[in-house]
Amino acid sequence: MPDDGNRDQLRVAANQAGFRAVNEAIERGHTAGAGLIGFVCECGRLGCTDVVELTAEEYEEVRRSPRRFLIVDGHQLPVDETVERRARFTIVGKIGQGGDLVARLAERDGDSPRRERR
């Protein structure tokens, strides 16, 4: 049975994967060159409803790795690794068991191979 720290990592990772599913649907509704698109912050915090604006191209760049998520700067959690800060958003990476979980979920959804081939 995982300890409390691992359970927290897995809970946050599952929340982030859920936010990512919402953002994937948002992205499908837009085309490249559509300008800034409002995406849901993928921070994993329960109750976060902040919106992050990215272009479709920027979102695709974040999603090339199933372990990376876009968040509002300052929403980093202890289970996240900050990968890059940009003017409108921050990219975090999942590490440890949380990273393994989101990678498996992306593979199950058939998403990971499509992104990594680009």
Count of alpha carbons within 13 angstroms of residue 24, beta-carbon side = 16
Does the model's pTM come out above 0.85?
Answer: no
Q: What is the pLDDT of residue 3?
A: 63
How does pLDDT run across 78-110, given as a tens digit for each residue?
888 999 999 999 999 987 777 777 778 776 555
How does pLDDT run across 26-74, given as a tens digit for each residue?
887 776 667 899 999 998 888 899 999 999 889 999 989 888 999 999 9
Full 3-state SS string of 29-76: CCCCCCCCEEEECCCCCCCCCCEEEECHHHHHHHHCCCCEEEECCCCC
CA 81, 84, 89, 93 torsion-angle sign: negative
State the Cα–Cα distance between residues 48 and 43, nearest whole angstrom. Answer: 8
